Structure formats: C-alpha cells, structure tokens
C-alpha cells in the first residue's frame, strides 16, 4: 500500500527528506512537499549576493526543478496544522497524510526590534540580504555595526563572517581607513562549541581592527539619533547597521498543538513529536542543535530512514547523532571548517580546521553536491 507523506517546508530538511524517500521508495510513496517560496537559496549564497560576489538569479534554485519519483511540490501557504489527524489546511486546499514532517524553519521578524526597519538593514532573509547589496554599494564609509537582536538565531557563525566580509569589502573600496566595524553578539565567544574556532575568529577581529562586543544584544535603534541601544543600557553610534532580526517559530506552528515555549519539542534521537506519525526537523524544533541547515539535513536523514523502515516493516533506523559541518568565511578567500557534535546530555564538541583555500573549495563542493542531489543539475556556488 502506498504511504502518504506530507512534508511542510522545502529547506535543507525538506529537500533531503524527500530526496531520500524518493531514492529508496520511488512510486511506493506519495510525498507532497509544501513551501510558500518558489525557490531555494543557501544561507551562504545570501552573503555572496550581498557582497557582490554573484547575482541573485545565479543562487536561486526553483522548486519546479524538483522532479522525483513519488514527489509532488506544491507552492502554497500553510494556514493551519492538525497534528492529531496529520493534516493541514493551505491556500491550495487540505492535505492529509500517514506521516507528517514539519520543517518550516524559523520566521524572521525585523519589526520586533524598534527602529530596525526604519533605521537599519536586516541581512538574514533572502530579500533583506539581496537588498543590502545596493546599500553597501552606496555606503561611503563610517561606523558599521553588525548586531544580533535576539536568541536563538540561525547560523551562529554568520554575524562573524559578515563582519569580516564587511572589512574586506570596505578595504577593496578604499573606505576601510575611514570606517569602524563592530560586532555585537549575545554569545560569550563567537562559536561556543569550538574554542579553537572562536580563538581564530577573535584573533581575526583583532588583526582587522574589528571591535568585538560579546554577551550583548541590540534591543533598539534610534534612526533619528543614529544610535543603537544595547541590553545593558549603553548606546553605540552608527552610520550603517546590519542586523540579525528576531527569530520565531512560524505563526501557524505557534497556533498548533505542536508548539511548547515557542518551538516544537522532539525526541532528540528520533525527531518524533508527541503526536504519533508526526516529526519535526530543523530550525522549528527545540532539539538542542544550532539552527543551521546542515543540522536540519542530518535530522531529515534520520526521519527518512525511520519512514523507510516503517514502510518495509523494520525497526532498525539509526538514531540522530547531532553531528554537523559548518564552513566559516574568514575573508580574502580563506575558509575554515568546523565539525561539531551536539548530543543530548553531553557537552557540545567541535573540531576546527583552517582557514585555507582548500576549505573554500570544500565549501563550494558542499553546495554543488546538494544541488546535484536535490535538483539533479550542476551548479557552482561562485
């Protein structure tokens, strides 16, 4: 009997899950993949466009190209989720399933930080990052602040990468001597699971004269006075503010029975929710790993194996191991690699390598291999 699987969200998690199900089960499974967007964009591609390394059209991967046995993509907005019946209401109608996987990610809310929309620029949404390209092109130099406005936030290394790339960008334009670059983050070190990576980044900040403000959050901007207010009550002047906006679970998730304390709790080994036949992966969960695509991909692999095992009447699926690889831009075409592991009940562990040109090539292949696998076509990230 054909199994019906409903996958909400076509990011790293949704794409990896549907690919594995199609590869293993083909037409024995009926997968409906739903996303409100028309295309996929890697997080690192947003920075590539923002800093003028490539153009927007080159980094969009249309979901219409996802043509796999047993998989149907539907571009629509999910309006309600009924976990008990494994069904959703969408703008394209109702969908029911035997198994439902929620991979809707985290929504970004720039309006939640007073003054950010009016006086700053967020670079975490696709639209925000692409629009910031023009802002940077027109910037004549001055005080630049890269700031985080809440926790948790996606891709913890990204603010550090952005500060380093701002340095490179201003240097290339002859504006660095007339500018100041500051990084405001709520973490005690840039990458807590990897002391070596954090030390390398802090050293890179010092070499480039980037001011580093740990354990701080940006609470508000005053566009008239051109100042940001920090959580401890102090203020910083700015000419250009590049912000990481408030992250929240999508409202449709918050309004469902799945949400607890803002996110979806899951079994850390199987990614099952409290509802039978309902799983959640990636940024929308409170599983305990960073909110980053590579962790969503790893979680999706575990869920896919569980679904395949169920379909074949087995019970030997692997448990989630909490491992993920992250690439870190240091600027000047140098990239580092961090391998981190987050296992329930254990302290996170990380291994740091680089930065070097070798890992720049590795990062490019990381992107190319996913597009090859998910979209069945060739792509280079630059």
Burial of residue 240, with CB atoms counted within 10 A of its CB: 0-12 exposed, 13-18 middle, 19 or more buried: buried
Bridge partners of residue 167, in order along the sequence: none
Burial of residue 15, with CB atoms counted within 10 A of its CB: 0-12 exposed, 13-18 middle, 19 or more buried: buried
pLDDT at 348: 77
Phi and psi based region of residue 138 (left: phi greater than 0; alpha: psi -120 to 50; beta: remaining)? alpha
Q: Render pLDDT for 361-371 as a digit per residue (tens, 0 to 9).
A: 999 999 999 99
Give how far Cα 146 sits from Cα of 123, 183, 238, 245, 350, Å.
10, 5, 10, 11, 25
pLDDT at 11: 96
pLDDT at 344: 66
Measured CA to CA, the distance from residue 227 to residue 236 in angstroms comes to 5
Q: Residue length, the chain?
A: 382
Nearest to 199 by CA among 43, 361, 355: 355
Q: Which CATH class is domain 3-106+249-321?
A: alpha beta
Q: What is the mean pLDDT of each run of 10 residues along the chain (382 residues)?
A: 93 97 93 96 95 95 91 97 97 97 96 97 96 97 97 92 98 97 96 91 97 97 97 97 96 95 92 96 87 91 93 79 89 91 74 91 94 91 62
The CATH homologous superfamily to which domain 108-247 belongs is FAD/NAD(P)-binding domain (3.50.50.60)
DSSP reduced 3-state for 375: helix
Q: How many CA atoms lie within 13 A of 230 on its CB side?
A: 19
As a 3-state breakdown, the chain gives helix, strand, coil percent values, each rounded to 5, of: 35, 30, 35
Q: Render pLDDT for 121-149 as a digit per residue (tens, 0 to 9).
A: 999 999 999 999 999 999 999 999 999 99
Measured CA to CA, the distance from residue 346 to residue 13 in angstroms comes to 24
Q: Within the chain, which residue ranges are assigned CATH 3.50.50.60?
A: 3-106+249-321, 108-247
Q: Are 191 and 354 in contact (CB under 8 A)?
A: no
Read off the tokens for 47.
């920075």
3-state per-residue secondary structure call for 281-300: CHHHECCCCCCCHHHHHHHH
Please state the pTM of the whole predicted model: 0.93
pLDDT at 381: 65
3-state per-residue secondary structure call for 304-348: HHHHHHHHCCCCCCCCCCCEEEEEEEEECCEEEEEEEECCCCCCC
Nearest to 124 by CA among 273, 288, 247: 247
pLDDT at 16: 97
């Amino acid at each position: 009997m054909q199994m019906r699987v409903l996958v909400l969200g076509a990011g790293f998690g949704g794409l990896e899950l549907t690919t594995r199900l199609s590869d293993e089960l083909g037409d024995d499974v009926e997968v409906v993949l739903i996303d409100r967007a028309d295309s996929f964009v890697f997080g690192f591609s947003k920075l590539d466009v923002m800093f003028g390394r490539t153009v927007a059209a080159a980094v969009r991967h249309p979901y219409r190209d996802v043509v796999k046995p047993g998989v149907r993509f539907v571009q629509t907005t999910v309006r309600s989720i009924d976990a008990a019946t494994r069904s959703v209401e969408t703008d394209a109608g109702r969908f029911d399933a035997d198994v439902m996987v929620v991979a809707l990610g985290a929504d970004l809310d720039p309006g939640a930080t007073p003054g950010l929309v009016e006086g700053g620029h967020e670079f975490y949404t696709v639209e925000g990052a692409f629009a910031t390209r023009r802002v940077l092109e027109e910037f004549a130099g001055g005080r630049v602040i890269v700031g985080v406005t809440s926790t948790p936030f996606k891709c913890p290394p990204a603010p550090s990468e952005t500060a380093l790339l701002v340095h490179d960008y201003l240097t290339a334009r002859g504006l660095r001597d007339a500018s100041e670059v500051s990084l405001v983050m709520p973490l005690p070190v840039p990458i807590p699971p990897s002391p070596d990576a954090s030390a390398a980044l802090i050293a890179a900040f010092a070499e480039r004269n980037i001011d580093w403000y740990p354990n701080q959050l940006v609470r508000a901007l005053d566009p008239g006075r051109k100042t940001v207010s920090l959580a401890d009550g102090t203020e910083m002047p700015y000419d250009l503010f590049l912000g990481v906006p408030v992250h929240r679970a999508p409202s449709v998730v918050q309004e469902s029975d799945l949400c607890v304390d803002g996110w979806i709790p899951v079994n850390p080994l199987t990614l099952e929710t409290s509802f039978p036949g309902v799983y959640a992966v990636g940024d929308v969960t409170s599983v305990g790993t960073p909110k980053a695509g590579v962790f969503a991909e790893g979680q999706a692999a575990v869920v896919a194996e569980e679904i395949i095992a169920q379909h074949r009447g087995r019970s030997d699926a692997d448990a989630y191991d909490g491992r993920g690889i992250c690439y870190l831009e240091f600027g000047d075409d140098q990239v580092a690699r961090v391998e981190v592991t987050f296992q329930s009940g254990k302290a996170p562990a990380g291994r740091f390598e680089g930065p070097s040109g070798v890992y720049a090539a590795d990062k490019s292949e990381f992107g190319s291999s996913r597009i090859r696998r998910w979209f069945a076509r060739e792509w280079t990230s630059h």
